[in-house]
Structure 1
């Protein structure tokens, strides 16, 4: 008597393939004839597969089709029902991506054999050896490649042996006796405590080469105890004798140094590398002073110029306070204006922020330089820019002309101050 393995017909491809393999082994072992295989196999059907088989046989009787009598026909019908069409392609992909990973060598080999068996792959032994080696872990593969073997079975046995040797190494390290700690604590601690005061005295006598924080100087705000990259962020315009030098990020608490408070001598002309770009522009056929400063984060225009020309202002979308390093204190920037101007053949209109500025009528900063792709030549102090597809070169004023403009604006400022009183 032989107990037949039951088949419930669940949607599990592996269960069906195991059942099919088991039945073929039984038929081969007991030498069952071809006519009896189908009736014996259908006796093991249970559940949904039994209902499927019954309805299939009734349909064939109604359609007057020949019934299934041979094992190959039954196996084909069962495979169409339980094995999806993409199953073989999925098995091939799994086989190609199979890696040794965390499993043992035997488990890795068994999984590869099972995938090849279910996919029906038959290949030469050297191809299987190459497939097996490519998925092995590097620590095992590098050692096995140096050892001789004749077939796949010997290769697997060598891999198992190398794997066992690698597993024994951590346990061997744990068994090593550590360095005795008691003697170290008794002798080491006493000697360390005795020598500790001497080391402290030596450290006091050693001159420290490290720079003190009080000697560190920021080259942006000229303050101390911080560097330029750590300079507190707050917009500040630096003014020296009514001339704008630069705009940097400094703290409101920092004070102007002696270099910022030093006055310009009217008899001396500074060299080009120390000067900003000073020029003159035309606004409504009238001449006004203009400065280009790459240190300025915005474009500015004088409040007096806006009032004099009666330009239409725009409310600033995000007003802010501008800290001037002089006696006037912070200034609130809350309005903007579009200023049309021309320098020779170059004609443009720039959005500027309105401030009470006396050093110049217009100050063009980084926004204008970015929009016009302006390039400043540090040797000639000329500025090259592109506007509406045309290249323009702006020539600066000479130091004497700059001084002339500053004296003129200073005299006008003094006249306005006298009129108030």
Structure 2
């Protein structure tokens, strides 16, 4: 009988208030919901424990949240959207009837847009498969652009139906697509697919990122973020019937 009483007393002692540890302040004698301590313990990266008042802790958390929001706003600012240029086309032909395009997705389209040069609109294609930035001879002739001898002439074949063509000249082209303005060096070719083609050199120099789903190009110039948006299939069809390519 004495042994039983002793065992019971020992059991009560082991579960008594003095054996309970508060998870909030780390002391014994009470549980966390009974804790009257208004301080918060923070374990630092080096293992040290720092104690703060609840008000100080809340202020610290608020400051961290505001700092993170400010960083996100600075690094993730909305890009300047660059739509095709609405200026009159460089080449105009008779107006034909247009048919609406049922699908507006970009899955089967290369990037096409229009850039403004001297108050005229020119057709532009962005193609990462091209090793050069190119300008058409028609563009150079109609805008009276100054040609220079190419330092390293070469031959191409795929941009024209005239067979093998030797590239002998370069030209400086200044253009504008929405708020994006730029000046680039292009090789001059007798191409009919577009007036200017921005190839791999342009993408490399601008560190442009291509979104395959939306078919957009995003890049920064002078700390400004730009997003080039392509013409929709319907706009491309209308463009082909309204202006000469």
- TM-score normalised by L of structure 1: 0.33
CA contact (8 A) 1:342 1:348 kept: yes
2:203 is paired with a residue whose SS is: helix
CA contact (8 A) 2:128 2:200 kept: yes
Cα distance in 1 for partners of 2:217, 2:242 equals: 25
Q: CA offsets per residue over residues 187-226 of structure 1, 9 Å max, x none? A: xxxxxxxxxxxxxxxxxxxxxxxxxxxxxxxxxxxxxxxx
2:107 is paired with a residue whose SS is: helix
CA contact (8 A) 1:301 1:352 kept: yes
Residues 161-176 of structure 1 mapped to structure 2, 5 A cutoff:
none
Match of 1:398 in 2: 232
Residues 206-245 of structure 1 mapped to structure 2, 5 A cutoff:
none
CA contact (8 A) 2:174 2:184 kept: yes
Q: Report runs of 4+ in structure 1 exceeding 3 Å deviation.
A: 265-271
Cα distance in 1 for partners of 2:174, 2:114 equals: 13
CA contact (8 A) 1:302 1:356 kept: yes
Residue 321 (str. 1) matches residue 168 (str. 2): no
Partner residue of 2:213 out of 361, 379, 398: 379
Cα distance in 2 for partners of 1:326, 1:299 equals: 16
More helix by share: 1
Match of 1:187 in 2: none
Cα distance in 2 for partners of 1:375, 1:363 equals: 17
Match of 2:113 in 1: 279
CA radius of gyration, larger in = 1
Residue 340 (str. 1) matches residue 177 (str. 2): no
Seen in structure 2, the aligned counterparts of structure 1 residues 276 and 367 have a Cα distance that, compared at 3 Å, is: same
**Count of residue pairs brought into register by the alignment:** 147
Cα distance in 1 for partners of 2:197, 2:239 equals: 15
Cα distance in 2 for partners of 1:360, 1:326 equals: 11
Residue 351 (str. 1) matches residue 185 (str. 2): yes
CA contact (8 A) 2:173 2:185 kept: yes
Partner residue of 1:302 out of 130, 136, 146: 136
2:165 is paired with a residue whose SS is: strand
Residue 389 (str. 1) matches residue 223 (str. 2): yes
Cα distance in 1 for partners of 2:139, 2:159 equals: 22
How much has 1:332 moved relative to structure 2? 0.9
Cα distance in 1 for partners of 2:137, 2:161 equals: 18
Residues 104-253 of structure 1 mapped to structure 2, 5 A cutoff:
none
How much has 1:313 moved relative to structure 2? 1.0
Residue 331 (str. 1) matches residue 165 (str. 2): yes
Unpaired segments of 5 or more residues in structure 2?
1-98
How much has 1:360 moved relative to structure 2? 1.0
Unpaired segments of 5 or more residues in structure 1?
1-264, 414-421
1:304 is paired with a residue whose SS is: helix
Partner residue of 1:365 out of 191, 199, 205: 199
2:201 is paired with a residue whose SS is: helix
Q: CA offsets per residue over residues 147-201 of structure 1, 9 Å max, x none? A: xxxxxxxxxxxxxxxxxxxxxxxxxxxxxxxxxxxxxxxxxxxxxxxxxxxxxxx
Q: CA offsets per residue over residues 323-351 of structure 1, 9 Å max, x none? A: 12764211111100010001111100010
Q: CA RMSD in A?
A: 2.1
CA contact (8 A) 1:289 1:405 kept: no
How much has 1:404 moved relative to structure 2? 2.2
Name the structure, 1 or 2, with higher relative contact order (CA <8 Å, separation 6+): 2
